[in-house]
Amino acid sequence: MEVLIHEASKSGQEAANKISNVQQVTRSQNSVVRTEDSEHFSSFCQKQSVDITFEDIRYTVSLGFRKGKKEILHAINGRFPPKQLIAIMGPSGAGKSTLLDILSGYRITGVQGDVYVNGRIRDLNSFRRSSAYITQDDRLQPLLTVLENMKVAADLKLKSSTPEREKRYTIEKILSTLNLYEHMKTRTERLSGGQKKRLSIALELVNNPTVMFLDEPTTGLDSSSCTQVVKLLRVLARQGRTIVCTIHQPSASLFQLFDQVYVLSKGECLYQGATKHLIPYLESVKLPCPMYHNPADYVIELACGEYGEDKIGVLVTGTQNGRNLQWFDKDHVLLDPKTVKAKHPLKDSPKYDKNSSLQVTSQMHQIKILLGRGFIKTKRDSTLTYLRIMANIFTGLMLGCVFLYAGGDGSRVVANYNLLFAILIHHMMSTMMLTILTFPAEMNILQKEHFNRWYSLKAYYVSITMIDIPVCIFCCLLFSVIIYVMSNQPLEIIRFSMFFTISLLICFVAQSFGLMIGAVFNVVNGTFLGPTISVPIMMFAGFGVTLKDLPSYLKWGTYISYLRYGLEGYVGAIYGYNRTTLPCNQIYCHYKVPSMLLREIAMSGDQFWNDVIALSVILLITRCCAYLLLRWKLMATR
């Protein structure tokens, strides 16, 4: 290899010298990682280093029904040693993110090949306990401050027996290192792009992972922020971590900050080895880098086929599709698999029960922390809380003005019946659509936090169910009082309690439907699907056609429509249970006797408790379905 380097052409050497000069200039810039903070942070709970090797990795995806399959990665190989900052490069569609997902364990379906950790076949559960995956988009809680986000991460990712003083010390140490200490009280939504990226890294550093995977950590950042983030990652790698990230097309100065580079094209490896050896490698395969040309740009151009598709084959052959390790830095001695195994014996590794939880804290502790976080979000959320309250007040006043005193007038019984249905529609649509619109954003955060072992899905689901109960009860009670009084419904505590109970159950069931849709579909598809499925639900409830007029082959729909039970419960609360004759200020009021209305709409008026039971059963079923769909969605992404 030394002979090849000395025999490299003058143009290649001049390009390398130019890059070296750029690197020296870059080093003179102000870095995000202060020296004293770096030294202070380096003592933070160092763990066993991790050497990652992968062999014959193939990844196949289905193209759809009867369209066959497509192989994305083609039997690639590679070696990612510890204490290295490693970049996976390649043009769009080369398979960078796919390889990162496979190595991190985020993607497991359709994968063939072997991944080794310290010379042994990777145990995914054990590996996930010592690794962290940071997505390309910053999936952070926008309503929490930097410190609040870090506290939640510390409470969930560190053992519950850890003293609060130690947690606080760890948080402050990480924030100081990442230059976020001055922004501890700043809400995440007000941070800059670079600060959000650093916070994403800080959250995963709480439990000190030995392996970190980052998908496009420089996307959306300016050149200065890119340099800061990459320098930070380099410092973290020097502390013993294996850090792997995908990067699209770095500048020359940014490229030189990486220790090792792995270049992909169309699912095959074009080069793997030290960054500084890329130019000699290109020289060795008769593809020299032009003078004053950024090697990163040039190798991407080669990978795109701009110099001919045959050049890609030459590079794949030169690196033996990732098997060739001769271009690694000689300063970093690569151990053979047997030596790696001997250096990292199993007895020194913690024993994990495969059936045990991936999280380090108990379910109850997780629920407690998530409830605390949810309470903070509820207080600050202008959409889910304050806008929701205002919408219920405004709608209640509007409907109250339209149907003023309709509940106590024998001549306006039909109008009051329409009001009851309008109330049902309000509770259903406002609750369901609000969940459909807001939950997909929460779903992205859930995918990241759940994969990185912050908490179990059960704890998360219980917390979001419990945290919304007080807000839902308050909004429903506020609306019910306004509309009940303004429309002059019977002022009896029992009847109002019945009316409120049905309203609350309808809200809970509608929210469950919103969770089911929001967990599976994005905002656009969910916004379409929600109102669409509401139409048959309304029809089967008796809207526009009474239950007795429904065709026999559609009767089954009335038993699954939760609005049918809601409407029947309302009618029972207002007109059932032997309500007396209503006052009539006209010559003839056909429905002043409540039994006449009940006979007309084919309802007995004494089925309130059956309706409550039916709604409770539907609520239980939809909540369970929402949980199962949520779990399926999390697994489907993998």
- Amino acid, single-letter form, for residue 445: I
Is 286 in the same domain as 401?
no
- Cα–Cα distance between 200 and 217 in angstroms, integer? 10
- Cα–Cα distance between 292 and 606 in angstroms, integer? 87
Report the chain's mean pLDDT, rounded to a whole number: 86
Q: What is the pLDDT of residue 604?
A: 83
Is 504 in the same domain as 612?
yes
Q: What is the pLDDT of residue 320?
A: 93
Is 7 in the same domain as 78?
yes
Asked if the model's pLDDT at residue 356 lies above 80, the reply is: no
Q: What is the pLDDT of residue 331?
A: 55
Sequence-ordered list of residues with C-beta below 8 angstroms from that of 599, at least 6 positions apart, any chain? none
- Cα–Cα distance between 312 and 322 in angstroms, integer? 13
- Cα–Cα distance between 590 and 15 in angstroms, integer? 96
Asked if the model's pLDDT at residue 354 lies above 50, the reply is: no
Asked if the model's pLDDT at residue 161 lies above 70, the reply is: yes
Asked if the model's pLDDT at residue 190 lies above 90, the reply is: yes
- Residue 137 belongs to some domain of the structure: no
Is 312 in the same domain as 369?
no
- Amino acid, single-letter form, for residue 611: D
Q: Which of 369, 353, 520, 519 minimizes the C-alpha distance to 456? A: 369
**314, 347, 380 — which closes off a domain?**
347
- Cα–Cα distance between 401 and 360 in angstroms, integer? 55
pLDDT tens track for 551-563: 888 888 888 899 9
Helices (H), 285-360: 295-303, 309-319, 337-343
Is 426 in the same domain as 296?
no
Weakest mean pLDDT among 193-197, 271-275, 369-373, 391-395: 193-197
- Residue 10 belongs to some domain of the structure: yes
Read off φ and ψ for residue 359, nearest 5 degrees: -90, 155
The tokens for 413 are 């019984």
Residue 175 — pLDDT band, cuts 50, 70, 90? very high
Is 456 in the same domain as 594?
yes
pLDDT tens track for 39-63: 445 545 456 788 999 999 999 998 8
- Cα–Cα distance between 258 and 272 in angstroms, integer? 12
Is 412 in the same domain as 370?
yes
The tokens for 3 are 């002979």
Number of alpha carbons in the 13 Å side-chain half-sphere of residue 443: 26
Is 537 in the same domain as 404?
yes
Sequence-ordered list of residues with C-beta below 8 angstroms from that of 146, at least 6 positions apart, any chain? 175, 180, 183, 184, 185, 186, 188, 191, 199
Residue entry with tokens 């029992």: 494
**347, 380, 404 — which closes off a domain?**
347
Is 333 in the same domain as 473?
no
Torsion angle in degrees (nearest 10) through CA of 320, 321, 324, 327: 120
Tell me the β-bridge partners of 121: 116
- CA 462, distance to chain mean position in Å, is 17
- Cα–Cα distance between 186 and 190 in angstroms, integer? 7
> How wide is the angle at C-alpha 172 spanned by C-alphas 171 and 176, nearest 5°?
120
Residue entry with tokens 């309008």: 422
Per DSSP, 189 falls in state G
- Residue 323 belongs to some domain of the structure: yes
Is 417 in the same domain as 495?
yes
The tokens for 190 are 């007000």
- Residue 190 belongs to some domain of the structure: no
- Residue 141 belongs to some domain of the structure: no
- Residue 329 belongs to some domain of the structure: yes
Sequence-ordered list of residues with C-beta below 8 angstroms from that of 66, at least 6 positions apart, any chain? none
- Cα–Cα distance between 428 and 568 in angstroms, integer? 15
Q: What is the pLDDT of residue 187?
A: 95
Asked if the model's pLDDT at residue 635 lies above 80, the reply is: yes
- Cα–Cα distance between 247 and 215 in angstroms, integer? 8
Contact call for residues 354 and 132 (beta carbons, < 8 A): no
Buried/exposed 386-410: b ≥16 CB within 10 Å, e otherwise: eebeeebeebbeebbeebeebbebb
Sequence-ordered list of residues with C-beta below 8 angstroms from that of 263, at least 6 positions apart, any chain? 89, 90, 269, 270, 271, 272, 299, 303, 315
**Which run of H or E residues covers position 620?**
helix 608-636
Residue 307 — pLDDT band, cuts 50, 70, 90? confident
Q: What is the pLDDT of residue 47?
A: 64
Q: What is the pLDDT of residue 333?
A: 59
Is 296 in the same domain as 343?
yes
Contact call for residues 541 and 566 (beta carbons, < 8 A): yes
Is 339 in the same domain as 383?
no
- Cα–Cα distance between 204 and 352 in angstroms, integer? 21
Its domain, for residue 495, covers 363-636
CA 600 to each of CA 27, 593, 606: distance values in angstroms, whole numbers, following the listed order:
84, 12, 15
- Residue 531 belongs to some domain of the structure: yes
**347, 377, 396 — which closes off a domain?**
347
Buried/exposed 149-161: b ≥16 CB within 10 Å, e otherwise: bbbbbbbbbbeee
Total domain count, the chain: 2
Domain with 72 in it: what CATH number? 3.40.50.300
pLDDT tens track for 507-558: 999 999 999 999 999 999 999 999 999 988 988 887 777 777 788 888 888 8
DSSP annotation string for 406-437: GGG-GGGHHHHHHHHHHHHHHHHHHHHHHHHH
Asked if the model's pLDDT at residue 9 lies above 50, the reply is: no
Weakest mean pLDDT among 59-68, 99-108, 240-249, 350-359: 350-359
- Residue 195 belongs to some domain of the structure: no
